[in-house]
Structure formats: C-alpha cells, structure tokens
Structure 1
Amino acid sequence: MAERDEDGAVVERGPGAAYTAFVLMEELLDKLKLLSYEEEVLRRHNVRPLSRHYFALPTNPGEQFFVFCTLAAWLITKAGHHFEQPQEYDDPNAIISKILSELRSFGRPVDFPPSKLKAGYGEQACYVLDCLAEEALKYSGFSWKRPVYPTDELEEEEITEDDMELTLNKLEEDVVEEESDNEEDFIDLNVLKAQTYRSDVKDSTKQEEILQSTTDAAEWNLEVERVLPQLKVTVRTDNKDWRIHVDQMHQHKDGIESSLKETRGYLDKFLNEINRTLEKINSREKYINNQLEHLIQEYRSAQALLSEAKEKYQEGSGGVTERIRVLSEITEVLEKVKQETEEKGSSMTDGTPLVRIKQALTKLKQETIQMDIQIGVMEHTLLQSKLKEKSNMTRDMNETMIPEATIGAY
C-alpha cells in the first residue's frame, strides 16, 4: 500500500515500511480501547481480546477475517452510518466491497485491491480499521490532548540523574586506580638490565678474587636446573595492547610493499605484452584493409547492384501480384459461368420431369375413372330413391281414392 503525505501525493516507502503494520495495529488497539470495544464487541460476539499484533501477523485467517468484518461493521455504525452485521455465510467479496465503499464515503483513499483484505490480516486490514476508528472517534466528539506529567516523577528522575553522575565519577576514579596498579605491576626492563649488569660486575670481581673454586660441578648443575625456571623473565603479551597492533600493522605494511613490488613487475610485463599485441593487431588490420580494399570496393558495387535488382524485383512482383489478383477474379467468374451452363445442360438432358408428368397423367386418369364409377353409383342410388318415392306417392294416392269411392256408393 502506497503511503501518502498531507497533500495526498504518493511517498516512496522506506526500509521500515515492513513494520508499518505493527505501528498501525498498536495505534488501532489504543483507539479501540478508547471506544470501549471490549464491552460492545468482544463480550457480544464471544471474541478473545486482541493482542498487540493481532492483525499484523497471520495466525488464523478465518478467525481474523471474521473479527475484521465485525470490527469494521461496528466502527462504521459508531461513525454514524448504518451497516448490517455480517454473517458467517455471507459473500466475502460483497462484505469487503461494502466496507471499502463506506471507507470511500468518509473521504479516505483506497489504493489497494480488495483481495488484500480477504486474508483478514496485513497492513491493508490495519489501515482500514484504523481509518474507521478515527472516524468513529471524530463522530463521538473525542479529541486528543497533550499529556500532563506529574511533578513527583520529575524530582525522582533528577535524583536518579545525580546518582548516575556520582556513579560515573566513581567509575572513572576506579579506572584510573586500576591503570596505576597495572603500571606498577609491569616490570621495568631497563631496571632489570641494570641489576643484572651490577650482579655481573660483582661476580666478575669475585671471580678475580677467587682463584680456585671449591664447589662441585654436579651440585652446581643441579642448582642451575632448580633455579633456571625462576630466572626466566616472561612478559605476557596482551592482544588488546596497541603496541602489538602497531607491530602487526608494520608487518602487514612490509608484506604488502614486498608483494606489491613483485606484482608490479608482473603487471608491467603484462602491460608491455598487451601493448605489443595491440600494436601488432593494429598493423595487421591496416595491412589487411590495404590488401582487401579493391575487394571491398567490388563488394560495395555488387551490393549496390543487388539493391537495384531487389527494387526492380519488388516492382515486378507488385505487377505480378496485381495480375494474379485479376486472374483469380476472372477464374471465379469463369467457374460461375461453367456452373450455370452445367446446370442448364443437365436440366435440358434430364428426362425426369417428363417421367413425372406421365406419372401424374396416369394418376389423373385413374382418379377420373374412380370418380366416374363413384358418380355412376351415386346416380343409380339417386334413381332408385326417386323411384321409391314415386311408388310410395302413387300408393298413397291410390289408398286415398278407394275410400272416397266406397263412400259415394253407399
């Protein structure tokens, strides 16, 4: 997430940008405590208290995302906007988009993708919650004040500072005393040399006085072996002594100078050889250029001719392509004409239409014959029905006439 200054311009992130999430989380925790989130959020949703780095480090992404959503919803409602409490089965993308839209409505910039908030931890999550907490504090009328320090603590601090000064002075005195003691412990070699010289002089005078030795050589050797370890002067070298470091520096300097002389000679030889080879290469290059100058000119002329030939070829190929295009169009038209002629020829030589006509005529004849038969049958039935009606009518008339005649006879 890019950092911004007061004017809104993007500021380059420094090497400490990896720890901004921890700083934001600590500030967020203080703001949540000011908003009394422990009573309104933790107890209501049965959530454990948040640690100082809860949203800065990944511990349990599912739980962290749930706590993030609940805190964001609670802070938005505390800031004066209506926001429904998210449930477990809601779409995470929809919840994140709603939270970011509310954050934008407060005028806060959002310059990171919404997918960064799915994990429920990180710098982006701390940033969103911190901005919402600030808006909630503004809405509640909270304002930061300068801290008031008690006076008693200042006096105690002054006393401790005086004690520290006293202890420092004591330490300096102890260090000086230790240095003086160490100087006394060191053996003065010059004094030791003077003492040995005096003892040697005394021994020489004694030897001049004593002309004959009465001591046994074996006893003398035994005494020498016994006293010899005590006569050795051992000066312990301290690795922290500056004199040893100076000697080492001089030794290293001498070694560097000696090795530098040898390497300088080798380097000078290499330089001379490289210069010689470069001169040889330059001379041979000039000789080759002089020898191959006419060939180079021929090559250049051939290259010019080749470029001209390429230009002519391109021009000719352009005309050929145009003619090929015209030829393709003509062939297409020719194929269409061939297809039309073939269709017409096939239709002229094909006898299937005549066969179909004959079949249709035969069907019509058969149908007309059947219709004639049906018409004859119908006419016959009609004639029979008419004859029956006439016979019935005559019979009825005769029956009506007979009773009238009988009545007239009586």
Structure 2
Amino acid sequence: MLAHGMVHTYELSIPIFVAIWLREYTTIDLGLTAIPVTTASLGVMAGLGFALFGLGALPGGVLVDRLGSKRLIVGCLVGMAGSFVLLAAAPNLVVVAIALLVWGAAASVYHPAGLSLISTGVEERGTGFAYHGIAGNIGIGFGPFLTALLLLFFDWHLVAGILAVPAILAAVLATRADFEEQAAVATADGGNAANKAKTGVSSFSEFVSQSKLLFASGFALVFTLVMFSGLYYRGVTTFLPDLIGSVLGIEPIPISALLPASLLAGSASATPTLDVELYVYAGLLTVGVFGQYVGGKLTDRIRTERGLVVGFSALAVVALAFFPVASLGTLPLLAICALLGFFLFMVQPFYQATVAEYTPAGLRGLSYGFTYLGVFGVGALGGAVAGFILAVATPTALFVVLAGFATVAALLGLTLLRKRPAPA
C-alpha cells in the first residue's frame, strides 16, 4: 500500500513540475545542439519516463517470478526515491530527463510485483486489492495536491527532495517486513507446496513458451480488456482538468485573497493562484478511493467477469452523459465527475482479480507484467488519441470515443462470463 501510494504520487506530480519547467527554461542543451523548450519537447521528455513505466512492466513481471516480490518492491522504492533526489539536484533539463527515466524504470516493476504478492500471499484477494487500490488513489489524489501546496512556498528543487523522503522511509520499513509471499497459493489456487516452487521462466525460449501458454487461454481476452481499460483511463484523465476548466469557466483565484501575505513570502511565484479545475480533478480522483473499496469487496462476493460488465457499462454511460449533465451547472458537474471517479477505479480490483483467476500462481508476475504493459503501455496511446480528437473535433466527440472503449471492454467481460463455467 505504501509503495503503491508512492508510485502514483510521483506519477501525478510530474505534470505539475512540467508546468514549472516550461516557465523556467528556454532550451534543452544537448551539447552539440540546443532544443527549444516547448510543450512538445517537454512532452516527449516526460513521455519517455512514462513509456518506461509501462514498457518495463513486462520484464519486471519476469523478474518477480524469479526474485520474488519483496526484493523488487524495495528496489522500486529506492529507485523512485533516488530519481527524485537526482531531480532535486538537477542543474538542467538533461539531468531532469535522466531523473525521469530512472523513475520510469524503477516504478515499472511495482504493479507486477505488488499485485503478484497480493494474489499469492493474501487469501481474501478482493479485499487485498481494495485496500491496495485505495492506497494508490490516495497517492493519485493527495500526492499532486500536496505537491501543488508545497510549490506555493518552496522552490521546485526542494519540493522534489521533500517528496523523496516518504519513499526512503517506506523502503526501510519494507526491508524489515517478514511474511510468506505465497502463503495463499494453496487456499486461493488449489495448489500445494510443490507447485509453489515451480515459478518463473529461466530462459528466453521458456519466456516465449510460457507466454504462448498464457495467451492460448482466457488470459488473451483479459489482456485485450485491460488494454481498452487503459485507453479509457489515459484518454479521460490526460485532458480532463482543461475540460473541467472550460465547463466551469472560473478564473484562477489569487492566493493573496485567501492567505496573509506573510505566508507567501517564500513562494516560488510572485502571484500564486489556485486553479479551481485542478482541485475538482483531484477530488474526482479521490472519489476513486470508494470505487476501489467497493469493487474490491465485491470481487470476494460475485463473479469478477460480472463486475467487469457492470463497471465498464457504467463507464460507457457516464462518458455519453458527461457533457450533457456537466452543462446543467456546477452541482451536476460535480456529480458526474464523482460518478466518473467512482467507476473509473471500481473496475480495477475486478480486472486485477480476474488476471489471478485466469493464470497459474507460478506465472503470476509474468501475467501482471503483460497486464500492465497493456494498461500503461498500450493504454498510454489513449492520451495521444484524446489529444488528436480534441485538435480536430470537439470534447463531445472524445467522450463518444471513450464510451466506445468502455463498451468494447464490457463486451469482452460478457464474453468471459459466458465462456467460463460457473463455480460448482
């Protein structure tokens, strides 16, 4: 839970720093040439780190099955802390880019490691996924909020250094933790002690053969479903703050109107402001805490495939209703945002538990590696798709496309529900 919260705290704080770098720097000095600082160049720079976050999940999953989850989670925490220490000391944007690459590589191993640990070490998987997801949503919602508040009073270098401290403390705690990583395999998977030892892949040929084995089963449908889930997630979150701002039509509020001038003496900005849409967005993400909890508890009570059908059907309806409802006023806007946040994260425990049900315990790391390659790797294209649609069409068109992504995911869940025999 601590590691999951840290991963998403850093993930969602990076865009806040990008806005500052746009103001502070004019060029990226590469020695032989210099590249002007624009949204495009910084977007590529940050995008490389985010790309590693998704692409590294697959090799991370392979390592989980060979080395165990605990080692990789500790390594993830140490690596992320180190990346933000490097960010705090960065004298230029080249070092910033290196720090973001280090963060992406370190963070990429977390989801296959953490989810594999829960799926093999916790008997009540759904409840475990629920609490785990809640921790992630706390990082998603409160991490950027805390970062924004700290930047009102301190330089971004110091804020980056402060953000590294929790990961260091979590890494120390993780090294002291003592538990059996596959304690629940016999109970949850019908396995035994002998099966626990048969884990991982030891060569490239075995990786290929085990991957073929995974995709020859129902996992292929699960993988396709999580890709569409990722496309919806990135597609709706990447530009939602700007879209909320356009609906609200509220100008940024000067902090000087809310706080005494003495408290703003050390501010990095001469006239710091509160961007209302960012806090509505943070609230939307925070509502996901309740979605994670409800979804996780339900996975212990109903067929996970049924939960996927209901969750993604709801997301399709919310996407189609978003702008018609939001245009009715502030309260309807807040209500539809709350529904979006709830269902956006409610589906996550369902697909996480579904992966565990469609894969053998010994290849759980590999299966979650593929899963988050789909969610964060392929899913990252959702942001590009959203940007293209907003450039050539309207926000309404974007939400129609998002509804299409959710509808496909719901149909895939329905296919899984019909193909898998009901438990005796």
The TM-score normalised by the length of structure 1 is 0.16
Higher Cα radius of gyration: 1
Q: TM-score, normalised to structure 2's length? A: 0.16
- Point out which structure has higher relative CO (alpha carbons under 8 A, 6+ apart): 2
